[in-house]
Homo-oligomer: A and B are copies of this chain.
């Protein structure tokens, strides 16, 4: 019999240095990030060993329960205490957008690496402060990353590889729709995600931020200007009766105003002159998580739908017209991004492993002293696009440049 050294050591081998994680927030994103931290060391060969040191949240009972449920060694009720812990080297910010800037900047100034959920902040000013803090921290060898996790869907990462390899050629069109339907019911309650002071914006920041990041990431180009319409179809909703995770909750008889958009439509131009179109909404009945994107170029086209996240459609326009067609690539081959570590071909991965892959790249980046994209500067640029969208929507949809 060969006794092992125990659970902690076994996670990624005794030789790797530990990387203590402290996570703030324990709702939906807290759960997915916990899952990723628990899993990443068992799937990938990592240069550092993630240790789930502490989780932070304001409600002592709730955070203690979350620590037990998700596998964190300790629980903190004050995020500042969590940031200050000696066993925390990486602060993972999973709170609503209104506290991102304060926590992330403090963590960076305390010498910690930071992973921050998207959108980076609720305003351009906050995002600028965060990007500046990240730049100062980078000079000290710290790493900061914004959690646009969909870049790490293997099919999306593979799409980027195909574009970078020239398989799509000069891009003419990028179109992204991100459709959900959880606000169709006018009696869905007024959670924090429907209040500007917490969420910054509505579908725009929640869904549109992903859409913008992916369009720019895939194209390898930036948006230079946008024209936008936004709408709040249901102007008041039942006030929350008790706590809520943002995506659910029970409403009371009293109604209060919705202060964010239900939907945002915008068009734009990319650096190269390509046209882009975007739609983000939570009012598209029957569409649960339909982040659909398509890129059309002179040499080929790509299409993706998050509801079928293991598949990528690729059309090779250099083939003969007779034999050409969109092919459905099952992105589950060992040669596809992240897949060598997983199951045999044809065995699907789930949504949550976008976070596992994000954690992998972040740990590698920290070990190598090189921040993986998307950086806080990337997050700031997305924030500028969102601000231009809101400005255009306020100004009768007039084409509004995105400051660079």
Contact = CB atoms under 8 A, between A and B. Distances in A.
A65 B199 CA distance: 45
A336 B12 CA distance: 35
A220 interface: no
Size bin of chain A's contact surface: 35 or more
B398 A173 contact: no
A81 B1 contact: yes
B2 A77 contact: yes
A134 to B, nearest CB: 27
A74 B4 CA distance: 5
A105 interface: no
Interface in A74-103: 74-78, 81
Contacts of A39: 35, 38-39
Contact of A231 (B43, B275, B315): B275
B322 A325 contact: no
A395 B63 CA distance: 54
A352 B346 contact: no
Contacts of A324: 286, 327, 329
A196 interface: no
A297 interface: yes
Interface of A: 1-4, 6-13, 28, 31-32, 34-35, 38-39, 42-43, 52, 60, 63-64, 67-78, 81, 158, 162, 172-173, 175, 177, 179-182, 184, 186, 227-229, 231, 233, 247, 262-263, 265-269, 273, 275, 277, 279, 281, 283-290, 294, 296-301, 306-310, 314-315, 317, 320-330, 332-336, 343-353, 392, 396-399
A31 B44 CA distance: 12
A38 B13 CA distance: 17
Contacts of A329: 322-325
A4 B73 contact: yes
Given A10-B71, A172-B184, 17 more contacts: A1-B81, A2-B63, A2-B77, A180-B346, A229-B267, A286-B301, A287-B301, A289-B347, A307-B346, A308-B308, A308-B348, A321-B335, A322-B329, A326-B327, A328-B328, A347-B350, A348-B351
